[in-house]
Structure 1
């Protein structure tokens, strides 16, 4: 099996553990494989965050500036400035070099979806030799929906409205057809904020959009270790993806070697329980279905 959502640097200030941001020594990459193999994975798809790369500044722009909320704008401006410490060029070269050494790796990237800049982003990324692109919705305007520092916005905005805004954006992402996989499709629940009733209409619209856009979805164990305490996507949402023949990948969303391929057996169990018997692998942006 493969882990198709793995980062090579954690978020936050550098603590001295692991290589400094933007450096990718081969022993660091190999450390991910040691854990992956121990957890039963035989392939890793690395997916660094585009917004964290300095090269993304001109193409993504300052997406938060159009938000009317000054407090959210100021926080996000500071947050992005502190996080944007990686190099896309170095990252791509490191993974390509790992491939050349015979390591079973795929070159991916996690791209945040902003409708106003998505066409420019797609054009910017086209020359790179990516095997696959995953895409996500982390921001609604200047609101970072999965950040603990901005969790209070759920109560200010209202839980239902927050979900409606998130799924509207995620559905646009899925329908765009620009990306290969939806990352943590219901990450809006990460901070533990859930609706009393299952948002079946939102789930259905997202699944239909993914099917029409030719976009797969990852089954990610990352949510098990967050306040949400469940996988992404929730079972009712995954059932709808299955009903619309949306293929799946497996993902840990690891940001450190020791979490690579963590509990992917649970992701397989969930996927099989709703009917999946295959997953999709990517090479050069082309997908191939393989047994789950």
Structure 2
């Protein structure tokens, strides 16, 4: 079964195309399942759309849900459309996000850490003038937030768990064993991690997470899924077969898909 659980569209302000464009692209690529998972609004902010080029407006949230549900019905005999969301994890304002999600019939929610100490993980300037010890501290804070998100009970999937390397490839070389602890926490809380192929669009190239993290994930019993993190329809399902082949080589035999917040496993 071919699927893609991580896609965006034009509501977030930095992706191209409508939801329908992504559904049609998925059909063209031979997918059985397409998950729509645009960036959650900043629910704790006063503004309707605090960051217009990063995430959808609060006023766009209900129309987003309604549109995905309508397309789910319209395409039901051709492809399974899933209602997902990529949600930021902000531990100090969790209540605002939990309240917004409570009555929504999501198929799954992806939890992603995009900020550490209020600075984007993709901001390459954050690393300038830091000592080696300070770099270790930042990396460990990043993984602490991922651990917290795994424990929160809010998420079915954790997004791109080493994406901090996106515009700073040296991130992977910062020495810390924290990833070991993080994977154990993820396994203990039975949350899935994604193999996200959007790293190819960043300086680092390749996928998130790296092969060595995937090998550790298998060792600790962490389950995996697939997401292209497509921001243009042409990337839907991007490198699905390559990821499947690599996972088999590492030793994975199955990966996760979702329906109505229930996980089911399919063979790779």
Could you say what secondary structure the match of 1:116 adopts? helix
Q: Does 1:249 align with 2:222?
A: no
Question: Structure 2 matches for 1:52-71, cutoff 5 A?
Answer: 56-57=42-43, 60-61=44-45
Deviation at 1:194, TM superposition (A): 2.0
Question: Structure 2 matches for 1:205-220, cutoff 5 A?
Answer: 205-220=181-196
Deviation at 1:119, TM superposition (A): 3.7
Q: Cα 1:218–1:82, aligned 2, differ >3 Å: closer, same or farther?
A: closer
Could you say what secondary structure the match of 1:132 adopts? coil
Residue 229 of structure 1 corresponds to: 205
Residue 239 of structure 1 corresponds to: 215
Deviation at 1:79, TM superposition (A): 7.2
Q: Cα 1:235–1:285, aligned 2, differ >3 Å: closer, same or farther?
A: same
**Does the aligned pair in 1 maintain the 2:12–2:38 contact within 8 Å?**
no
Gaps in structure 2 of 5+ consecutive residues: none
**Does the aligned pair in 1 maintain the 2:40–2:86 contact within 8 Å?**
yes
Could you say what secondary structure the match of 1:92 adopts? helix
Q: Does 1:193 align with 2:169?
A: yes
Deviation at 1:83, TM superposition (A): 3.9
Q: Does 1:44 align with 2:20?
A: no
Q: Cα 1:84–1:45, aligned 2, differ >3 Å: closer, same or farther?
A: closer
Q: Does 1:94 align with 2:95?
A: no
Distance 1:235 1:128 in 2: 35
Q: Cα 1:199–1:10, aligned 2, differ >3 Å: closer, same or farther?
A: farther
Distance 1:240 1:248 in 2: 12
Gaps in structure 1 of 5+ consecutive residues: 19-27, 63-77
Residue 4 of structure 2 corresponds to: 3
Task: Give the CA RMSD over aligned residues.
Answer: 2.3
Q: Cα 1:106–1:151, aligned 2, differ >3 Å: closer, same or farther?
A: same
Could you say what secondary structure the match of 1:279 adopts? strand
Deviation at 1:195, TM superposition (A): 4.2
Residue 80 of structure 1 corresponds to: 51
**Does the aligned pair in 2 maintain the 1:39–1:262 contact within 8 Å?**
no
**Does the aligned pair in 2 maintain the 1:39–1:263 contact within 8 Å?**
no
Distance 1:283 1:13 in 2: 27
Deviations for 1:50-71, whole angstroms, at most 9, x for unmatched residues?
13xxxx43xx237xxxxxxxxx
Deviation at 1:40, TM superposition (A): 3.9
Runs of 4+ in 1 over 3 A off after TM superposition: 10-14, 37-40, 81-86, 156-159, 195-200
Distance 1:221 1:12 in 2: 20
**Does the aligned pair in 2 maintain the 1:281–1:288 contact within 8 Å?**
yes
**Does the aligned pair in 1 maintain the 2:29–2:237 contact within 8 Å?**
yes
Q: Does 1:31 align with 2:21?
A: yes
Comparing 127-136 and 200-209, the one that deviates more = 200-209
TM superposition score normalised by structure 2: 0.87
Deviation at 1:123, TM superposition (A): 3.0
Deviations for 1:2-37, whole angstroms, at most 9, x for unmatched residues?
1010111276579xx64xxxxxxxxx4343234324
**Does the aligned pair in 2 maintain the 1:221–1:266 contact within 8 Å?**
no
Deviations for 1:165-221, whole angstroms, at most 9, x for unmatched residues?
211211221232321001101111010332474746122111111111121000111
Distance 2:245 2:174 in 1: 22
Residue 118 of structure 1 corresponds to: 94
